[in-house]
A and B are shown apart, each in its own frame.
Chain A
Amino acid sequence: VWAGPSPPAALDLQGWQTSVDCARANELCAAEPGCSSSYRTLRQCLAGRDHNTMLGNRECRAALEVLQGSALYGCRCKRKMKKELLCLQIYWSIHLGLAGGEEFYEASPYEPITSPLSDVFRLASIVSGTDPVANSRSNHCLDAAKACNLNDNCKRLRSAYISTCNKGVSATEHCSRRKCHKALRHFFDRVPSEYTHRLLFCSCKSQACAERRRQAIVPYCSYEEKEKPNCLALRSQCRAEPLCRSRLADFHTNCQAFHQFLTSCSRDNYQACLGSYTGLIGLDMTPNYVDASFSSLVVSPWCSCRGSGNMEEECEKFLKDFTENPCLRNAIQAFGNGTGLTFS
């Protein structure tokens, strides 16, 4: 435990479950000469060196040991917090030093979401609980677009990403993928999930509905590319960026399938899984529905396992966490049906 002048107020208010966020922990560390010099040393150790080389250095090992006794050890980040990127950069600078960072599943740098049944499911069940005659003809994805359009904030940010992603740049480039991704992240960060999840996870009984659902993220700009990269290459690309790496780790933490749980989700928490899935949109690992089929539900990032060589098995395992994941599928279906948690 780090012995500072006074514990941060947030700790006292929110109880034992809350850890210090890494941006705050960094400030605390900077105020103490021993901690700040060790942190500086560690960052130099990590720059351009692999984990084992780093640990081979006595100075680097000593720095890491000092930091393990500081507030930086065990710090987490909050979703949508003010200095989210800075916080994540600090988190990974410590954790790559500790773990090496080449595991299949990495721990999420985000604080765990605790309530399994959120307002969103209650809201969804109210919305979809209409009479069966109207239900068979209705298009839930169209209703979701309506709900968004009637809310000024949702409408404004939805229009912002659609117009950005739909804007041609030149004869060769049909849109700016970078700007489109940024606008999508902005939308999913700033608009409450009661709107965004309805647009993404609406349940469909027709192809027109499923096509609207597939189109929600303007896939021709944000998702599809000429080439389909190998999934492990895409994962390496994602892990080179702190935000993508964090969101992927969060997805793996919250959407991991466990058969001993009723929901198939590791924490019996659909909401956490859907939130983590949504968190990947607008990054290299952007997932989407692979087609406009309304009976089968398959989502995937834009990658394949071709050209995996001797890593074929690992690649398939990675891809199946999206395409054949019972936790994710149950979460999407439960949201669409407005049932939240059903054990049947």
Chain B
Amino acid sequence: NRMKRAKTRHKPCSLKELEVTISELGLGYDSDETVLFRYCSGTCDSAVRNYDISLKNVRSMRKIRKEKVRARPCCRPLSYDDDVSFLDAGNRYYTVNEVSAKECGCV
């Protein structure tokens, strides 16, 4: 069982990319222009700190009950890609920032 789990384990946190249209981003813009959407994906097992172990243990002792806490590091962008500009269906130009990740890390 443990072997099986090890096999299906996800890759460590890293940058992945996908081609999507501006409309598909769901930001409220209507444009067929395609952009490269870079996002962070993967696990952060190797980035577990004493903080995470301690928090998990204290929580399991039911010393923390009402608050929402996260006892695992999270794979998130450390920085974002440059602005992206595009022409929309109404022939207006727009520029949006912090749409796409540039660098990922476990935080």
Contact = CB atoms under 8 A, between A and B. Distances in A.
Given A166-B93, A166-B95, A215-B91, A149 B33 contact: yes
Given A166-B95, A211-B91, A149 B36 contact: yes
Contacts of A145: 33-34, 86-87
A54 to B, nearest CB: 48
Contacts of B93: 162, 165-166, 215, 218
Interface in B65-85: 82-85
Contacts of A166: 85, 93-95
Contacts of A139: 32
A119 B1 CA distance: 56
Contacts of A211: 91
Contacts, number: 50
Interface string B90-107: 010111000000000000
A20 B34 CA distance: 44
A212 B36 contact: no
A163 B83 contact: yes
Interface in B43-85: 82-85
B35 interface: yes
B82 A150 contact: no
Nearest to A159: B85
A196 to B, nearest CB: 15
A139 B84 CA distance: 21
A163 B85 contact: yes
B83 A146 contact: no
A159 B95 contact: yes
Contact of A146 (B33, B91, B95): B33
A185 interface: no
Nearest to B83: A159
Contact of B19 (A150, A159, A165): A150
B34 A159 contact: no
Given A162-B93, A166-B95, A211-B91, A146 B85 contact: no
B35 to A, nearest CB: 5
B36 to A, nearest CB: 5
B91 A163 contact: no
B32 A149 contact: no
B84 A155 contact: yes
Nearest to B36: A150
A142 B32 contact: yes
Most buried by A among B84, B85, B87: B85
B82 A159 contact: yes
A162 B85 contact: yes
A212 B33 CA distance: 11
A150 B85 contact: no
A215 B34 CA distance: 17
B95 A163 contact: yes
Contact of B82 (A146, A156, A165, A212): A156
A247 interface: no
25 contacts: A142-B32, A142-B33, A146-B33, A149-B33, A149-B35, A149-B36, A149-B84, A150-B34, A155-B36, A155-B84, A156-B82, A158-B85, A159-B84, A159-B85, A159-B95, A162-B86, A162-B93, A162-B95, A166-B85, A166-B95, A211-B91, A212-B91, A215-B87, A215-B93, A218-B93
Interface of A: 139, 142, 145-146, 149-150, 155-156, 158-159, 162-163, 165-166, 211-212, 215, 218
Interface of B: 19, 32-36, 82-87, 91, 93-95
